[in-house]
Amino acid sequence: MNMHSRPWFRVLRPGVVGALVLVALQPVAQALTVYTAGPAGLIKELAQGFEQQGGEKVEVFQADSGKVMARVESEAGNPRVDVLISASWDSALDLHQRGWLLNYRSPNAKTVPAAYQGPSYVAQGLSALALAWNPSSGTPRPSDWKDLAEPAFQGKVNMPDPSKSGTALELISGLQSQHGAQAWKLFGELRANGMHIAGANAQALNPVLQGAKAVVFGAVDYVTYAAQAKGEKVEIIFPRSGTVVAARPMMIFKRSAKVEQAKRFVDYVLSDEGQRIVAKSYLLPARSDVPALRPALGSFQAWPPESDAQRAGRAALLQRFDELFVRK
- Report the binding-site residues: 222
- Write out the binding residues for Fe cation: 222
Q: Are strands 196-197 and 157-159 parallel, antiparallel or unpaired?
A: parallel
Alpha-carbon torsion angle 197, 198, 202, 207, nearest 10 = -100
Widest Cα–Cα separation across the chain: 93
Distance CA 236, CA 228 (A): 9
DSSP-assigned letter for residue 101 = B
Q: Could you give the angle at which helices 166-179 and 89-97 cross, rounded to 10 degrees?
A: 90
Q: At 246, give phi and psi (nearest 5°).
A: -105, 120
Helix (H, G, I), strand (E, B) or coil at 33: strand
Q: At 179, give phi and psi (nearest 5°).
A: -125, -5
Instruction: Give residue 82's region: left, alpha or beta (phi > 0; psi -120 to 50).
Output: alpha
- Residue-wise DSSP of 206-273: HHHHHTSSSEEEEEEHHHHHHHHHTT---EEE--TT-B-EEEEEEEEBTT-S-HHHHHHHHHHHTSHH
Q: Are strands 157-159 and 121-133 parallel, antiparallel or unpaired?
A: unpaired
Helix (H, G, I), strand (E, B) or coil at 24: strand
Distance CA 201, CA 191 (A): 19
How far is residue 14 from each of residues 18, 139, 146, 195, measured CA to CA in Å?
Answer: 8, 84, 82, 77
According to DSSP, the residues that pair with 23 across neighbouring strands are 10
Instruction: Give residue 31's region: left, alpha or beta (phi > 0; psi -120 to 50).
Output: beta
